[in-house]
């Protein structure tokens, strides 16, 4: 029996929107302040998945410069009708305190690979918008309604309004069709029409450890909606022993072979309740009861790690190489930048062929113009390596290898300049916004043009290495607890995950550049595997 292994989209890939078009399957996930916007993964069998494309690639589609941490693009909805792909998304401009500024947009394309259109503005009444295509050709937008007033339920229900294709805007009355259940925090709505009923699937309980998928149904689009008597249909909230925690925010499809599957958000803590990889996406196989309610097959209401695959021939994809030599004129699909797309004023793959050249801009605290290129950490056990050429002239110029959650939390092995040591290597950490330097004294690498930097990650532990001679690696700094690089590493709720990459800062404003020769990202299945590889390496020494 062929099994699906969860999570199917490891690392920061939350809020899945599940879509089938013919025999192709797509999942769109949130990207928040990271560019390009919205990850779309593709599968032919629900077992094997690949990152296919990003539909939001231009600042005319979304401009996130200045957006706060965990703002930006929330909970996209990908749908298809009449030969057109529709993508609905929210650009969250503020989210702290009583108010949330949440602007909802639509873009379309005739091909999943684009080109994708300029956005149509929809509304700003709440977040998690979703588009439902009814049998009669009408189209309906649903989203959660935000109520800022004191003493009110801020998650004030699910509202619906018609979208006019002819007029390219929302038309007609706004109706509140569902106020939620006792689980509260009702969001993430999706509508389906099955067995003569309209089914409203929502996320409830909050996107942390009380998260859940709720279901309600009605013979009428506008309700009233009857709540599933066994609600919620999926949760891990009362089962701390489960590998997949935070189960919620579901999206449903029927395969071309007539089988039903639910994609949902989940999290896997590395210790206690810290999820360094962020919120991920898993799949559960479903069935319908005789009285037409949806059930998780074999799991009661709990998420399973191993799930029976559909009766579809396997379709694997070629693996992504571990090493990026920067030989293309464009960044590979796994790379991301903060809030804005890269442009030639600060990033180039052509000025020095075979190298990624980054020009230093603002600091790691900036919500505007950081020169940072990073990829998701997608395994508990991994190592990354790069080699950089950088000649700083002042302590305000830095470049190196960074593990980055947001402006509050990161760990950075950086090259800089010290008045006494000259060119030097040190470790910066920000934990909950508190700046620290983890070496008592920076290490001088004056006179060495090139320096290799490495990070080895084992769940919540990080060890940095460096090399200024081809055959010798040296440990630098202590083993670092990186559990704070997680949603849970802050007093305020946040929603992304750990990124690993390269960055350059020039706080003096001269835009000093650094050249990165390559970047290696390798994953291992467990601590024993990564320890074995490290044990085989020669020339590793303590500094």
pLDDT of residue 539: 46
Torsion angles phi and psi, residue 364, rounded to 5: -65, -15
Calculate mean pLDDT across residues 213-222: 98
- In order of their start, the domains of the chain are 3-308 (2.115.10.20), 323-542 (2.60.120.200)
pLDDT of residue 534: 58
Give the model confidence (pLDDT) of 275-333 as tens digits: 999 999 999 999 999 999 999 998 799 999 999 999 999 999 999 999 999 999 999 99
The answer for residues whose C-beta is within 8 angstroms of residue 362's C-beta and 6 or more apart is 368, 369, 370, 371, 505, 507
| Cis? peptide before 224, omega within 30° of 0 | yes
pLDDT of residue 261: 98
pLDDT of residue 311: 98
The answer for residues whose C-beta is within 8 angstroms of residue 329's C-beta and 6 or more apart is 349, 350
Mean pLDDT of the chain: 96
Catalytic sites, residue numbers:
15, 187
Let me know: does 250 contact 201? Beta carbons within 8 Å: yes
- Residue 187 in tokens: 């969001």
pLDDT-based confidence at 364, cuts 50/70/90? Answer: very high
pLDDT of residue 543: 43
pLDDT of residue 533: 61
Please, how many CA atoms are within 13 Å of residue 324, restricted to the half-sphere of its CB?
A: 24
Residue (of 329, 248, 237) closest to 284 by Cα position? 248
Give the model confidence (pLDDT) of 154-198 as tens digits: 999 999 999 999 999 999 999 999 999 999 999 999 999 999 999
**pTM, rounded to two decimals:** 0.96
Residue (of 6, 525, 486) closest to 244 by Cα position? 6
Is the pLDDT at 528 greater than 90? The verdict is no
Is the pLDDT at 442 greater than 80? The verdict is yes
Provide the Cα torsion 512, 518, 521, 522; round to 10°: -150
CA distance 278 to 270: 11
Calculate mean pLDDT across residues 405-414: 98
Is the pLDDT at 356 greater than 50? The verdict is yes
pLDDT-based confidence at 542, cuts 50/70/90? Answer: very low
Is the pLDDT at 537 greater than 60? The verdict is no
Give the model confidence (pLDDT) of 69-127 as tens digits: 999 999 999 999 999 999 999 999 999 999 999 999 999 999 999 999 999 999 999 99
Let me know: does 282 contact 8? Beta carbons within 8 Å: yes
Alpha-helical runs (H) found in 5-136: none
pLDDT of residue 538: 40
Calculate mean pLDDT across residues 497-508: 98
pLDDT of residue 471: 74
pLDDT of residue 536: 52
Give the model confidence (pLDDT) of 260-269 as tens digits: 999 999 999 9
- Residue 469 in tokens: 């001679």
């Amino acid at each position: 029996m062929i099994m699906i292994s969860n999570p199917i989209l490891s690392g920061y890939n939350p809020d899945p929107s599940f879509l089938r078009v013919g025999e192709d399957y797509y999942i769109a996930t949130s990207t928040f302040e990271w560019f390009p916007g919205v990850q779309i993964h593709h599968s032919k069998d629900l077992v094997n998945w690949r990152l296919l494309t990003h539909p939001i690639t231009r600042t005319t589609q979304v401009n996130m410069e200045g957006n706060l941490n965990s703002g930006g693009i929330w909970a996209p909805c990908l749908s298809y009708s009449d030969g057109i792909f529709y993508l609905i998304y929210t650009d969250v401009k503020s989210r702290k305190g009583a108010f949330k500024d949440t602007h909802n947009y639509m873009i379309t394309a005739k091909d999943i690979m684009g080109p994708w259109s300029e956005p149509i503005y929809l509304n700003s009444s709440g977040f998690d918008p979703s588009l439902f295509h009814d049998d009669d050709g009408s189209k309906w937008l649903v989203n959660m309604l935000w109520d800022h007033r004191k003493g009110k339920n801020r998650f004030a229900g699910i509202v619906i309004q018609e979208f006019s294709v002819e007029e390219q805007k929302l038309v007609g009355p706004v109706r509140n069709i569902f106020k939620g259940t006792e689980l509260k925090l009702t969001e993430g709505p999706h509508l389906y029409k099955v067995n003569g009923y309209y089914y409203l699937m929502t996320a409830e309980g909050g996107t942390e450890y009380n998260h859940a998928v709720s279901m309600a149904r009605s013979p009428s689009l506008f309700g009233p909606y009857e709540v599933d008597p066994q609600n919620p249909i999926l949760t891990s909230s009362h089962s701390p022993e489960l590998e997949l925690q935070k189960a919620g925010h579901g999206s449903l499809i029927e395969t071309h072979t007539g089988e039903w599957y639910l994609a949902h958000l989940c999290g896997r803590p590395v210790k206690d309740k810290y999820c360094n990889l962020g919120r991920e996406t898993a799949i559960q196989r479903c069935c319908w009861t005789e009285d037409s309610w949806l059930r998780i097959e074999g799991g009661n209401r709990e998420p399973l790690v191993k799930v029976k695959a559909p009766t579809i021939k396997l379709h694997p994809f070629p693996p992504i190489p571990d090493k990026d030599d920067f030989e293309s004129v464009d960044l590979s699909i796994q790379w991301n930048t903060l809030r804005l797309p890269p442009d030639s004023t600060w990033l180039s793959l052509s000025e020095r062929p075979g190298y990624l050249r980054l020009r230093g801009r603002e600091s790691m605290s900036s919500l505007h113009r950081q020169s940072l290129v990073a990829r998701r950490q997608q395994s508990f056990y991994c190592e990354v390596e790069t080699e950089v050429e950088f000649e700083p002239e002042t302590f305000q110029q830095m470049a190196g290898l960074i593990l980055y959650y947001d402006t509050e939390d990161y760990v950075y092995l950086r090259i800089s300049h010290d008045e006494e040591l000259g060119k030097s290597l040190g470790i910066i950490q920000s934990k909950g916004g508190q700046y620290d330097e983890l070496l008592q004294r920076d290490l001088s690498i004056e006179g060495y043009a090139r320096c290799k930097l490495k990070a080895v990650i084992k769940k919540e532990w990080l060890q940095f290495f460096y090399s200024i001679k081809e055959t010798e690696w040296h440990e630098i700094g202590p083993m670092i607890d990186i559990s704070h690089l997680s949603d849970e590493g802050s007093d305020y709720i946040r929603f992304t995950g750990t990124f690993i990459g390269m960055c350059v800062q020039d706080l003096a404003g001269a835009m000093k550049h650094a050249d990165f020769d390559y970047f290696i990202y390798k994953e291992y299945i467990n601590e024993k595997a990564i320890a074995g590889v490290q044990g085989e390496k020669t020339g590793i020494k303590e500094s």
